Structures are given as structure tokens and as C-alpha cells.
Amino acid sequence: METPRDLTETLDRMAKEPGVWKPFAGGTDLMVLLEAGKLPREKFLNIWNLAELRGIETSADHVTLGALTTYTEVRRHEILAREFPLLCRAAAETGSVATQNRGTLGGNIANASPAADSPPALLVYDAEIEIVSASGVRWIPYQQFHSGYKQMDLQPAELIRRVRVPRNKNAWRQYFRKVGTRRAQAISKVCFAAAARMDPGRIGDVRIVLGSVAPTALRAVRTEEVLRGQRPEPAILKVAQEALAREIAPIDDMRSTLRYRRTVARNLLAEFIESLAG
């Protein structure tokens, strides 16, 4: 592992030998894989201290977070706590204090675990990702970033620099529930993040995103369609649950079962819709 001086040097080295140098942030994912022998000993660029990747900026319309923003920093940020509670909940329920001090948003996104906790929150908030390389900068909707299991729109010479969320869901009703193996330090079995704009009595607009029920965090667009414009009532809930069951693709794995994930996803949708009726 080597420590580049700054972001420019980082990107230059990645451009010169694409795929050879892997960025290494807090290590909470990579070190576990290395220990388990699941990662070949690669060449790492220590980006932990790159100031260009840190910091949370607020404008009238957006909050922009550096890729190295840790979960601890997310939890402590006043505006995030107030306007982006789902992201703060995700951060608070990831690992434990020690993990939250070293885990980063950029790392969480790039590691692309289907069970990652912040992606569902970021998708509810219509996040955008800034990707940089020696040859330029581009922003893409986070929705388009993951294309499959551990597949993402990130070239070997590219780095995630920032994540941006619009400040437009402040008045939305928000819901987050992570069902894990236990109450702390748990990998999620089902993660459900949702928000709804209520036009009195009706669901004006809605976002529903689930983790751990598909190869990537899944925005349940068809379920959202079913719900848009509807009153949050039992009849429409049933239709929405059917749509959700068809949209998600849970599996059996070491932690849980397909049936459990599907049942719980449906039940959490019910819990969410019921909370809108109140």
C-alpha cells in the first residue's frame, strides 16, 4: 500500500496502471476480505487522508458529502439528522461505533454488497454520484450506478469523489427499518427505506427501496407506481404487496431464507403504508 500526496496523484497513478491500484479507504470491508483470503494481495492506494474526498457541504438545494464521509460524521451532521433521517438511521445501524468511525459512504457504495445499509437510503433521496478520473469528472444518478451483483459503472481508473442529495424530501414521511441478525453489528436480512409525500390523504409521490432482496439495492418502481395517487388503505396495500413480491429477487443464504425475506418485505411495506394512514 502506498499513500499518494493528493487526489491528482491518486488519479494519475490509477490512470497509468488501470486496475492495478485499488483505492483503500477505512478498510472495514477490504481488510475482512484480505484476512479471509478472499482478496488477492493487490496494490492499494491509501486514500484515507485525501482532504478532497472529505467534508459535507450544504447549499440551498443540496447536501454534498465527500466519499470519505464516515458513518460517524453522517450521524453527527445537524442537517443530515434533520432532513435525511433515513441516511442517519442507516449509519447508526451499521456495525458499531468502531465500524462507524472507519466505514465510509464511498467504500460502502464501491463494495456494492447487496446487504449494504446506506444505498437504500441514498436511493430514496435520489442521490447522485460524482465520479472522477485523470481524464475528467462525471455525475450520474446513483440509481444507474449498480447494474448487477458487484457490477457498477466505475472504470478501473475512476474514483467516487462525492455523493449529492437534493434537499427536497424534508416534508416527506420517512420510514427505515433494517431487519438484521441482531440489534447491533448485524448484516441485514431485509432493509426497507421509504418516503412518501402526502397530498392530504393520498400518496402524492413515493420512494421505496429495499436492500438484501436483490443483487443490488432495489428501487421498487412498480410498487411505487401502484401506490402513487392512492389512499394508504388495506385494499391498495394488498395490490402493492403483490407487486413488491414480484419485483424483488431474494435468495436463500447463510443468514436467511428466500421465504423469510419475501414475507418480511411484504410486512414492512404494510408497516410503512400503515404509518402513512396515521
Binding site for other proteins (CB under 8 A): 1-3, 24, 26-28, 31-32, 34-37, 41, 44, 46, 48, 72, 95-99, 101-102, 179, 181-187, 189-190, 254-257, 259-260, 263-264, 267-268, 270-271
Nearer of residues 92 and 227 to other proteins, judged by Cβ: 92
Closest contact distance (angstroms) between CB of 210 and other proteins is: 14
Nearer of residues 108 and 133 to other proteins, judged by Cβ: 108
Residue 1 · residue 44 · CB < 8 Å: yes
Nearer of residues 79 and 184 to other proteins, judged by Cβ: 184
Closest contact distance (angstroms) between CB of 34 and other proteins is: 7
Closest contact distance (angstroms) between CB of 2 and other proteins is: 7
Read out DSSP for the chain?
A: -B--SSHHHHHHHHHHSTTTEEEESS-TTHHHHHHTT-S---EEEE-TT-GGG--EEE-SSEEEEETT-BHHHHHH-HHHHHH-HHHHHHHHTSS-HHHHHH-BHHHHHHHT-TT-SHHHHHHHTT-EEEEEETTEEEEEEGGGTEEETTEES--TT-EEEEEEEES--TTSEEEEEEEESSSSS--EEEEEEEEEEEETTEEEEEEEEEESSSSS-EE-HHHHHHHTT----HHHHHHHHHHHHHH------SS--HHHHHHHHHHHHHHHHHHHH-
Closest contact distance (angstroms) between CB of 252 and other proteins is: 10
Nearer of residues 64 and 263 to other proteins, judged by Cβ: 263
Nearer of residues 44 and 197 to other proteins, judged by Cβ: 44
Closest contact distance (angstroms) between CB of 42 and other proteins is: 10
Residue 67 · residue 105 · CB < 8 Å: yes
Closest contact distance (angstroms) between CB of 45 and other proteins is: 11
Nearer of residues 136 and 183 to other proteins, judged by Cβ: 183
